[in-house]
Structure formats: structure tokens, C-alpha cells
Chain A
Amino acid sequence: MTDRVRVCSVEDLPPGKRIQIDLDGRAVGVFNVEGAFYAVENRCAHLDGPVCEGAVNREIEVTTTDPGERVEERFSDRPTIACPWHGWEYDLETGVHLGTDDVAIETYDVTTEDGYVVLTP
């Protein structure tokens, strides 16, 4: 087990940016989404696609409406990452697939310490 890993300085990973690091042979994407940091393994549960290269969105949540009324969709505050190969989309924090909780990608804890982004394997 690797000890905690210093990823980069906080300045080098501003909001909206992402970087990839090698973690004992595993490619891991580290994201800054509006000031919050996330890290997931760059391997989609579908076909091992480069999920970390995909689009970051917010999970769409629906508001329950009365029968017969159109469901209201809006973005939640939960960031997601979608594999660019086929669209498999995951909660960026938990790694769990948006459509089913029995499929997930690996996630890692990320914190900031002394001006650095630090990842805990």
C-alpha cells in the first residue's frame, strides 16, 4: 500500500481542471470541480475505457410532480464523470454508476494540506 501521495500544488489544479497521475501502475484522474477535489481510477467498469477523460456533469435529479405533470429535471450539486467511450456515468465522489449501485469505479480520498493536493490510496 502506497502512503499518501502529494499530487500537485493547489495552484496547479484550479477549478475546472483535472490531471492524471500514476499510482503504482494504476492511472488515476484527480479533479477540481468548483473547488472540491475528487479522484477516481481511469478505468471504466464497462470496457476499461478512459473514464477520467470524459465529461464532468452534475447528476440530474427529478422533482416529483403530480400525476400527469411533466417530471422536472434539474442538475443537483453532485458531480459526475461519464466515460467518453459509451457514456457510462458515475458519481464522482462515490464512484457508483448513476443507474445502478452494483457497478462502481475505484475512488480515492483527496484533501489539501499545506497548499498541496494530497491523495490517500
Chain B
Amino acid sequence: MTSIVDIDAHYFEYGTLGHMAQYLDEDDPWRKRFAQYDDPDLANPQLFPKSTGDRKLFGRISRDDDLDLHDAEDIPRVMDYLGVDDVVVISQRVLAFGVMDADDKRASKFANMYVEYMIEEVVDPDEGIYTLLPAPYHDPEATVDLIERVADEPGIVGVCIITGGAEPPLGNRKYEPIYAAAERADLPVVFHTGGAGLDSFQSSGYEKFIETHTLGFLTSNASQLTSVVIQGIPKKFPDLDILFVESGLFYVPMLMHRLDAEYMKRPSEVPFLDKRPSEYMKEIYYGTQPLEYQDEQHLEWVIRMMGGPDRLLWASDYPHWDYDPPKVIEDLSFLSRAEKDRVLGGNAREVFGL
């Protein structure tokens, strides 16, 4: 019997910010700010910027099953719909962290109230409902404090860092205290891209969402994966489990080959690496969503180049427009039953300690 774990469904804190803000101190001005910005249509973009582009294709995508996922009671319905036994929900709001460049405390305040709220009202390990700590990586010290505070909470099973927009890139030494704290706490770090700011992810002026979504999600994960690997994060924190999610799979072998070629020519730049970048990358885990529509033979080779199915964790990304059901893995004829079971849940149980 396959036991399925979804490692990425999104919890929409829309219309709940004011409620969540009660987890901040009464005299904390951010408590009032978050409450005031609780209108999802009007004021929120000021606090949580997002890109233009109609994800739902002007009405072409309108699923009857577009279940709400912004309340604790919504989660079991979504789990039932997807057919999963366990779910790791990820904050929707955290996706904008990469483009929050105001030098204030909104990210760390939000992260604190999010984890308090989730622990008190939402996560339920007995029912297979977990979440990730949304790392306010802009402030490593605040992130470390938060990791240490919730390390023993059974409902918090990892640390989520948004790759889209993070500067300096996430292999930079300023973030190392975060990785050290996560390793000490035995919490995996999930690098997850985000759609906020997509319109100017690198060069402003793209016209279509297909351009910005394809390239933005690709380059945000590829650039951060390069930084993390080349700056030696897997080497420096050997007991830290690292995941990269939500950019599909095909970019990973491309990056492996290109980094290896450069590594062979420029080893003096990375004397602290002991082996080819691709070898470190085969120790990293990858979320499968959005799995590319593909020739099965090509996908089989891609997975083989990445180190095999043990590196892969299925994720739905529900309820986002490009979500994947478990069927995308079930339908792959080149995977054995045991391999499918690992991708759909077994690997996640090991990595997240479920």
C-alpha cells in the first residue's frame, strides 16, 4: 500500500493575517500593520509584492476542485482530494520574501507569528499535518533564534528558504549560521522558489507569464543551487539535508554538467571542494513538481543523471495553477513499484523524519 507524502502544499494566509498577528505582542506596531493589510485584493501587495501575469489564463484554468487552503479545517479536505497520507504545508506569504527589500522587521515578525499560529491552530502531527519554518533569511540571527525556539516542535519539520530574489546568493557566508542551526536541530532546509517579482527576475520587460515563470523559477533555483554547492554548504554541513523544489527536474543535470566542466578547468577557485559539483548535487534532494511533460526516456535519463529516484520527493504545490497530482509519478513506466513508493512518500518520511 503506497503511503503518500506531499512535501509542498500552500497554506494561503489570506484574510487571516489580522488573526495571525495576535501572536505578536500587543504593543508591537507590526501587529496593527499586518491587521490593516488584511485585504487580499487591495493592500496586501504593499507588504507582499507579487508579479503581474494571470496565472489562471484569464479563466481557462478554473478547477471545481480549487479547494480553499487557508484554514486548519481545509487541510484534511485537500489531503483527501490529493489522496495523501501526510502533508507539509508551506506558507503562501513566504513566497514574497525574496522581493522584500525594505530594511525592516516584516519578514522576521511574520515568520514568528506564522510558526506560533501554525503550532497553536493548524499543524497536527497525529493527522499527518506539518509545516516548515519560513526563514526570514534577511536576518540570519532572527532565523537562528526561531529555529532554536521551535526545533523540538513535532509539527515543524524543516526550514524553508525562498530562492527567488535572495541577495547575496544563498551560499554566502552570512547565511551559514542558519544552516548550522538547522543541522543542529536536525531540520532539513527546503530551498523553494517564489513567483513574487517575477516580472523583473533578471531583466524587466518580458511580456508573457510563460516567459517569466519558465525562466524566473529556473534561474532562481539554478542560481542559488550554484551558490550553495560551489560555496561548499553541503561540504561544510554534511549532516544537513538540503532540498531544492518547484523548478522541475530537467535543469539539474544541465547545471551538473556545466558546473563539472568549469570545475575541471578552475579547481583553484574552489580548493575546499573535494569532488565534482555534480557529486555534491547527487546528495541533495529535489522536489519533482512541476514535472515536465516529457518523453519518458528523456526523463528516465534525467533522473539517472541526478542520482536516481532516491533523490526525488513528489510535491503537489496545490492549489497553484501548475500543481501535480500523484498520478504524474504513478504513470512513469520506468519506475518500479518500490521506486514510486519512495518518490511518493518514503524519501519524504526519511528526510522530514515523519
Question: Footprint of B on A, CB under 8 Å?
Answer: 46-48, 53-55, 57, 82, 84-87, 89
* B293 adjacent to A82 (CB under 8 Å): no
Contact between chains at B325 and A47 (CB < 8 Å) = yes
Q: Is the CB of A55 within 8 A of B293?
A: no
Could you list 13 A-B pairs, sorted by A, with CB under 8 Å?
A: A46-B293, A47-B325, A47-B327, A48-B327, A53-B64, A54-B62, A82-B57, A84-B61, A84-B63, A84-B64, A85-B63, A87-B60, A87-B321
Q: Which residues of A contact B299 (CB under 8 A)?
A: none
Task: Indicate if the CB atoms of B62 and A84 lie closer than 8 Å.
Answer: yes
Q: How many residues of B contact A (CB 8 A)?
A: 13
B59 contacts partner chain A, Cβ-Cβ < 8 Å: yes
Q: Is the CB of A86 within 8 A of B321?
A: yes
Determine the chain B residues whose CB is within 8 A of the CB of A85 once the complex forms. Answer: 61, 63
Interface centre among B60, B64, B327 (most CB of A within 10 A): B60
Top 8 closest pairs, chain A to chain B, by CB: A82-B60, A87-B61, A87-B57, A87-B60, A55-B59, A55-B60, A84-B62, A84-B63
Please name the residue on chain A nearest to B60 by beta carbon. Answer: A82
Is B296 an interface residue, CB under 8 A from the partner?
Answer: no
Residue B101, interface by CB 8 Å:
no
Which residue of A has the minimal Cβ distance to B63? A84
- Shortest B59–chain A CB gap in Å is 5
**Smallest beta-carbon distance B56→chain A, Å:** 8
Q: How far is the CB of A39 from chain B (nearest CB, A)?
A: 20
**B 50-87 contacts with A by CB, 8 A:** 57, 59-64
* A84 CA to B63 CA, complexed, in Å: 5
| Residues of chain B in range 289-329 having any CB-CB distance to chain A below 8 Å | 293, 321-322, 325, 327-328
Contacts of B64 in A (CB 8 A): 53, 84
